[in-house]
Amino acid sequence: MELTTTHPHIFELPTEIFYIIFWYACGPSPFENGAEHLPAYTEVPISHVCRRWRSTSLNYPKLWTTIIYDERLPKMRRHQVIDHLKTYIRRAAGHPLDVRFASLQLYDQDNMYLMLELLLENSTTWHRISLTLPFYIFKTKLINRLLDAHAPLLESYEIEVCGYHPNSYTPSSPPSITPILSLGSPRLTHLSFQTLVFPSSILCSPYLTTIHIDALKYTYTRTAFFAILRLPSLTNLSVARMVFSDPVSLTSGIEPIIARELVQFRCSAVTVARCIWYILRAPKLDVLVLKGIHINSFSFPLEESGEVVANIFPSVRTMVILDCEVQCGKRTNARDLANATRSVTNLLVSSAYPSKSIFSSILYYHKQLWPNLEFVALNSFETHGLFRSQIMDFLNSRSGLLDPRLKMALSEDVASVWKDEDPISWSTFLESGHYNQASPARAIADIARSFNPGGIFHQPPDYLDDPHYY
């Protein structure tokens, strides 16, 4: 019997199905929500499998629109990188590009300038751009061309600096704000930059939904801060370190700014964090992240009775408090913060200063603070017996033995020490039904994931353990 040779059934699939298969095989873009791993140039081996696959992949421009250079990816020789970039741009055939240059410092200056020139030549196809640039770029005219590029399709633009030293650069003019967007990008919704990048202005557009600002040496004025809060589409705002000078003198006559669309606010700037309770009203604010701020520096508006105004942010459900110190037992710290955010249901506390942690105040005032809590996550805390007994007392007083509604996640260190040193108490804790075995970082990341846009705004779940975060 003579055997006949047939093609595998996969070759009978329509080209459109191949497109879908190839697209999913390459994995999500690192700019997309939920993308925790960088792509590995999968489109290249796909195009080398056979003639059919090569022809199909080369005629599918979208497959070549994500261009990533990152030290975590397979390294190319320096003389190959320009050809690689040209090939991707050519095969993308004018389709919107997602480009991330995260490791330009791996290449010599000539190659780096050529890469940026190629990028600028194709600015009309920019879609999402993320650049980490060596500091010396900001002493050249190239940075002005990057900021003024005509990019009509651009939606997300992120620039940060590496190799910067605070004493090596002085801005030529004081920071201000301009209401006109000079990028020629009417679709721009996400903007992330360090103050060194935009030394003379903060670019504002009525379409911006997400802004991340990181100070490097100097500050913007309160006028700039107010203008940002008034952006009509602002949904996510991150203010890292000392971006603004003291935005406002705290007086009872301040007229609050209403940020009607703000959903997530992240702040590690003391001057901002201590006054937002006076100047900001955000009816949709859902996630509030505070980093590295002494809680006792906060100033809250008071009722005529002298008590802090309750529920200043009535819609906040998730609060993350990272490395924020507090004086335990003082009225004007944890209790006032809790009263201003009574709607919180998910609370994460991570601290490098256990003895000054806000959670110690939570235990101290456990019958009053955050009455709506459903989930608490603790990261890197004390493990002594008193602390564990306080946790059990807190849980029992809040949820009761018959209603284990309140769940608690613990860092691995705390859980391990507790289990080894006091197995009986640990067993009681497990049987109570309060324990959530997810790590605090993962648990809170899952809660807030839908509020994190792409690019560098999307932090991996382990960002809570990163000492350089913010």
pLDDT, tens digit (0-9, with 9 covering 90-100), for 418-457:
888 888 888 988 888 888 887 776 766 665 554 444 443 4
* Mean pLDDT of all residues in 335-355: 80
pLDDT band at 63 (very low <50, low <70, confident <90, very high): confident
Could you write out the DSSP letters of every residue in 443-455? Answer: HHHHHHGGG--SG
> Under 8 Å CB-to-CB from 311, ≥6 apart: which residues?
339, 340, 341, 342, 343
Q: Distance of CA 158 to CAs 42, 72, 359, Å?
A: 25, 19, 35
The neighbour count for residue 197, using CB atoms within 10 Å, is 21
345: burial class by Cβ within 10 Å (0-12, 13-18, 19+)? Answer: middle
pLDDT band at 174 (very low <50, low <70, confident <90, very high): very low
In which residue are the tokens 């779940």 written? 461
Q: Which two tokens stand for residue 216?
A: 């490097």
Average pLDDT over all residues of the chain: 75
pLDDT band at 79 (very low <50, low <70, confident <90, very high): confident
Q: What are φ and ψ of residue 418, in 5° steps?
A: -60, -45
pLDDT band at 74 (very low <50, low <70, confident <90, very high): low
105: burial class by Cβ within 10 Å (0-12, 13-18, 19+)? Answer: middle
DSSP β-bridge partners for residue 214: 194, 240
Predicted model pTM: 0.80
pLDDT, tens digit (0-9, with 9 covering 90-100), for 107-127:
778 888 888 999 999 999 999
* Mean pLDDT of all residues in 303-318: 82
In the predicted model, is pLDDT for residue 464 greater than 50?
Answer: no
pLDDT band at 284 (very low <50, low <70, confident <90, very high): very high
Contact yes or no for 175/199 (Cβ under 8 A): yes
Residue of higher predicted confidence among 233 and 454:
233
CA angle 364, 375, 334 (to 5 degrees): 30
How far apart are the C-alpha atoms of 204 and 176, rounded to whole Å? 11
Contact yes or no for 228/267 (Cβ under 8 A): no
Residue of higher predicted confidence among 196 and 161:
161
How far apart are the C-alpha atoms of 325 and 313, rounded to whole Å? 21
Q: Distance of CA 271 to CAs 16, 280, 333, 353, Å?
A: 54, 13, 16, 21
Residue of higher predicted confidence among 73 and 24:
24
In the predicted model, is pLDDT for residue 334 greater than 70?
Answer: yes
* Mean pLDDT of all residues in 215-230: 74
